[in-house]
Amino acid sequence: MKKMVIILSAVAAAVIIFIIFSAYFKDKGSESIRKSGIVQGTEVNITSNIPGKIAELCCSEGENITAGSVAASIDSDDLKAATEQADASVQRAIADIKTSEANIETAKARLVEAKLDKERMTSLFQESLVPRAKFDSSEANLNSAAAIHKASVSQLASSKARLKEAEAMFSQQKARLNDTIITTPISGVVVFKALEKGEFVSPGITIYTIVDMEDLWVRIDVEESLIGMINIGDNAVITTDAKPDKKIEGRVSEIGRYAEFATQRDVKHGTQDIKTFHLKIYFTDTERFLKPGMTVNVEIPSDKQKIK
């Protein structure tokens, strides 16, 4: 009898333990994933391709700007003068080519005439109808005409080479002049203004940072131990500390392919670093409450009901 009681007690204990563990793991599996994140968006830094003094700026921080509009301009007086000078060099080279072409036509006519005269003098000299001096003179005239024609052809080649160089310089100066007008490739809001009118800017230095407000998302980082619980398309709920009752619907749209920084390092040389994967969560915010750079709270429910 005593043995039977012990057996029943052991069975009861096992059942209780099973129920407790089942409830624990059931609750564990049903827990939502809660993380803090940052609102981000498509971001463009507006920079200059050339060095110079800023002549004009379009906007202050917080203002809207439209794609293709002028964001800033660089003082262009020196570049305008250089471009005009380069254009003048092109026009001179074109004029030189026309002159060289005219000289070639003149030299060609003289060469034809000198050849005919040489042929006539050769025939007359062979018949002893003209003295040696006239024959020699016709030969000298032919050689001179040939040399002048050759020089004219060479001059034309040089003029064409100068035109090519002048056009290249003009194109370069024109491009630099065009670079004084800086436009924005996207529409958005100026979130950062780095320089003021009259300041000097170097190539590559940011003048403005613009964020596309039509393309915002939340980035969160999730430990590798939880990443298997999340799928593309999973629902997410976004809230803020400023308005905790305001819930914004989101959806997991991207899961990082590679593990990134570790949230916990192995300092005991006996465990592994715990790394994270980044998640991108797009959201619907018709009121435009969320702004780039805001810290938000993200909850991914365990039911994984996807937004249709």
Which tens digit of pLDDT belongs to each residue from 207-221?
Answer: 999 999 999 999 999
Who's near 131: CB < 8 A, 6+ residues apart?
Answer: none
pLDDT per position as a tens digit, 61-87: 999 999 999 999 999 999 999 999 999
Q: Place domain 34-73+190-300 in its CATH homologous superfamily.
A: Efflux pump adaptor protein, beta barrel domain (2.40.30.170)
Domain extents in the chain:
34-73+190-300, 77-178
d(CA 182, CA 305): 46
C-alpha of 134 from chain center: 75
**Burial zone of 238 (CB within 10 Å; 0-12 exposed, 13-18 middle, 19+ buried):** buried
Q: Is beta strand 262-264 parallel, antiparallel or unpaired with respect to 248-255? A: unpaired
Main-chain dihedrals φ then ψ at residue 238, nearest 5 degrees = -110, 130
Residue 283 and residue 280: Cα distance in Å, rounded? 10
pLDDT per position as a tens digit, 41-63? 999 999 999 999 999 999 999 99
Calpha distance 301→231 (Å, rounded): 12
Strand, helix or coil for residue 103 = helix
Q: What is the pTM of this model?
A: 0.67
Task: Say yes or no to pLDDT of 5 above 50.
Answer: no
Asked if residues 282 and 250 have their Cβ atoms less than 8 Å apart, the reply is yes
Q: Where are the alpha helices (DSSP H) in the chain?
A: 2-30, 77-126, 132-178
**Which of 36-45, 93-102, 133-142, 235-244 is the least confident region?**
133-142
Confidence band, pLDDT 50/70/90 cuts, at residue 286: confident
